[in-house]
């Protein structure tokens, strides 16, 4: 029987690298019988976001073209990936998950994969990401201004760091068992091995790096989040950050690319001057790190506004 392998997160466990790898290597995967569904969010963000959209709004299945679930003749397995499934797991309703599994099960056997990570290192990585991310109504800790200790105390975060509870909740919602993969240096190969695929050697086979911004910048953005009033401002500040300190952070780059000149022009240097050094362990930065970044961001903002 054909299969659907659904790589479901967690976020911050190599998901972006995995998605970019699979999207870039669709032809190689297909030669081995794996079809990475091409209904992705975008070529820059090649995840299957239609999955979470259908889980949020199950009525979408009424108008969805179900022919998308039919695999090519060469493929025995359809490979899907979005970390949004586990990211929003505490918010999902059984009515929606049941409809999702019932619909896909008509086309093949479902197999769910979740990559887990040491809770302390995962939470810190996820915190950095949550600070950088754009605001999202469903996930009200995105674009957070919370200190790390308060972020860790959120029920949503605690639900994602308890592996046994995560397994129990996921299984109850989807009525399917989960295969767990432990995050590590070879996580890409480990996930693919569960798909019975051995990566080929070649240029495309190098996964795209997705690094975090440095801790001083995370703290600066955390404080800015408390005064940012809309998404346009968030994108404008992201442009300032990425210009001052280039990084491969996917979230920050996506926001920066959406920045408009008028919104950058409307930013104020006084906003940067009003921020103050605060300890926020386990983020590691010094007073000098903070002040040096303030000066760099100030110079960058003035230059962007004068261009």
Q: In the chain, how many domains are there? A: 2
Contact between 224 and 271 under an 8 Å Cβ cutoff? The reply is yes
Residue 210, domain member (yes or no): no
Q: Choose among 21, 18, 29, 175: nearest CA to 94.
A: 175
pLDDT for res 58: 85
Tokens 């090649």 label which residue? 46
Residue 128, domain member (yes or no): yes
CB atoms inside a 10 Å sphere around CB 281: 10
207 vs 272, more confident? 272
CB atoms inside a 10 Å sphere around CB 164: 7
Q: Are residues 45 and 106 in the same domain?
A: yes
Q: What's the distance, Cα to Cα, between the start and end of the chain in Å? A: 60
Q: Which domain holds residue 239?
A: 215-306
Q: Are residues 9 and 113 in the same domain?
A: yes
Starting at the edge strand found earlier in the chain, the sheet holding 3-7 runs: 34-36, 77-81, 3-7, 109-116, 178-182
The residues facing 182 across adjacent strands are 116
pLDDT for res 1: 61
pLDDT for res 30: 93
Residue 244, domain member (yes or no): yes
Coarse DSSP helix, strand, coil percentages of the chain, rounded to the nearest 5 percent: 55, 10, 40
Question: Where is the domain boundary, 152, 186, 205?
Answer: 205
pLDDT for res 205: 47
Residue 89: CATH number of its domain? 3.40.50
- Measured distance CA(227)–CA(175) in Å, rounded: 43
Q: Are residues 86 and 177 in the same domain?
A: yes
Tokens 């975090």 label which residue? 212
- Tell me the per-residue pLDDT of 161-215, one tens digit each, with 9 for 90 and over: 999 999 999 999 999 989 999 999 999 999 999 888 887 655 454 454 556 799 9
Q: Round the average pLDDT of the chain to a whole number and report it.
A: 92
Tokens 């699979």 label which residue? 22
Range 251-276 average pLDDT: 96
- Is it the case that residue 143 has pLDDT exceeding 50? yes
């Amino acid at each position: 029987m054909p299969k659907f392998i659904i790589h479901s997160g967690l976020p911050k466990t190599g998901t972006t690298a995995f998605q970019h790898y699979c999207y870039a290597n669709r032809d190689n995967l297909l030669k081995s019988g794996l079809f990475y569904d091409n209904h992705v969010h975008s070529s820059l963000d090649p995840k299957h976001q239609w999955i979470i959209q259908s889980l949020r709004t199950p009525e979408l299945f009424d108008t969805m073209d179900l022919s998308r679930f039919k695999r090519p003749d060469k493929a025995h397995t359809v490979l899907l990936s979005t970390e949004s499934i586990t990211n929003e797991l505490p918010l999902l309703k059984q009515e929606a998950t049941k409809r999702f599994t019932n619909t896909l099960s008509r086309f093949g056997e479902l197999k769910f994969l979740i990559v887990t990570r040491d809770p302390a290192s995962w939470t810190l990585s996820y915190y950095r990401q949550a600070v950088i991310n754009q605001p999202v109504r469903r996930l009200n800790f995105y674009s957070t201004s919370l200190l790390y200790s308060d972020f860790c105390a959120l029920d949503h975060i605690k639900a994602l760091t308890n592996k046994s509870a995560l397994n129990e909740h996921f299984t109850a919602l989807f009525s399917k068992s989960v295969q767990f993969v432990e995050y590590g240096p070879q996580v890409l190969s480990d996930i693919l091995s569960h798909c019975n695929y051995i990566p080929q050697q070649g240029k495309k086979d190098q996964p795209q790096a997705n690094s975090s911004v440095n801790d001083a910048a995370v703290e600066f953005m955390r404080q800015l989040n408390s005064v940012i009033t809309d998404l346009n401002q968030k994108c404008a500040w992201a442009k300032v950050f990425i210009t001052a300190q280039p990084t491969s952070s996917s979230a920050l780059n996506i926001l920066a690319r959406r920045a408009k000149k008028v919104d950058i022009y409307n930013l104020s240097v006084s906003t940067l001057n009003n921020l103050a050094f605060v300890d926020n362990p386990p983020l590691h930065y010094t007073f000098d790190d903070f002040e040096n970044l303030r000066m760099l961001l100030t110079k960058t903002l003035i230059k962007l506004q004068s261009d």
